């Protein structure tokens, strides 16, 4: 049992390590603006506790950046839509791919796998040209549509 206790403490320390940067982020959010700015520019060391606790930055965010919620909603909407499409397609395609053994299907699986290894810059200009072709330029759907059909979930 002693070994288990040591392991527990070790793993807890380990997972705390994962949280330290997030804690620092929170501290920055609650400290005065000039201090946080100096930290963000690499001029000062992040402190473990704000010198004077203030929620002023949150207030600024909600009062002077009015489109914050609009943008947030926009992001949320798109990510939920993408996830829904992604999950639906992954479930039906993954089921078919797992159920049958077939040369065509294994080729498809390999293709899906390999797609994820290609740097995304390669898709930028062709996608732009295609968007130009079908008149979807400057619309957000052209940015998000490829994400919805990314084949990570299918294999």
- Angle at 132 (CA atoms; ends 134, 111), nearest 5 degrees: 75
Nearer to other proteins, 54 or 127 (CB): 127
Q: Nearest to residue 109, comparing CAs of 119, 92, 97?
A: 97
Q: Is 30 in the site for other proteins (CB under 8 A)?
A: no
| Interatomic CA distance for residues 53 and 32, integer angstroms | 7
Among 49, 63, 64, 119, contact with other proteins (rule: CB under 8 A): 119
Least CB distance from residue 104 to other proteins, whole Å? 7
Q: Is 50 in the site for other proteins (CB under 8 A)?
A: no
Among 51, 55, 66, 99, contact with other proteins (rule: CB under 8 A): 99
Q: Is 22 in the site for other proteins (CB under 8 A)?
A: yes
Least CB distance from residue 29 to other proteins, whole Å? 10
Among 52, 63, 64, 122, contact with other proteins (rule: CB under 8 A): 122
Cβ-count burial of 140 within 10 angstroms (0-12 exposed, 13-18 middle, 19+ buried)? exposed
Q: What sign does the dihedral 146-148-149-152 (CA atoms) show?
A: positive
Residue count (the chain): 155
Q: Nearest to residue 148, comparing CAs of 100, 61, 140, 8?
A: 140
Site for other proteins, rule CB under 8 A: 4, 7-8, 10-12, 14-15, 18-19, 21-22, 24-25, 28, 39-46, 89-90, 92-93, 95-97, 99-102, 104-105, 108, 111-127, 129-130, 145-146, 148-149, 151-152, 154-155
């Amino acid at each position: 049992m002693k070994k288990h206790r040591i392991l527990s403490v070790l793993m807890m320390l380990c997972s705390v390590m994962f949280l330290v940067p997030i804690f620092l982020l929170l501290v920055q959010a609650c400290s005065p603006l000039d201090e946080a700015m100096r930290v963000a520019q690499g001029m000062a060391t992040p402190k473990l506790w704000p010198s004077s606790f203030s929620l002023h930055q949150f207030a600024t965010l909600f009062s002077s950046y009015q489109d914050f919620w609009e943008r947030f909603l926009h992001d949320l909407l798109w990510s939920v839509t993408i996830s829904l499409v992604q999950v639906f397609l992954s479930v039906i395609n993954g089921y078919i791919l797992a159920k049958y053994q077939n040369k065509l299907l294994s080729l498809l699986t390999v293709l899906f796998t390999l797609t994820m290894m290609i740097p995304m810059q390669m898709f930028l200009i062709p996608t732009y040209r295609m968007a130009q072709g079908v008149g979807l330029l400057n619309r957000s759907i052209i940015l998000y549509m490829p994400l919805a059909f990314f084949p990570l979930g299918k294999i």
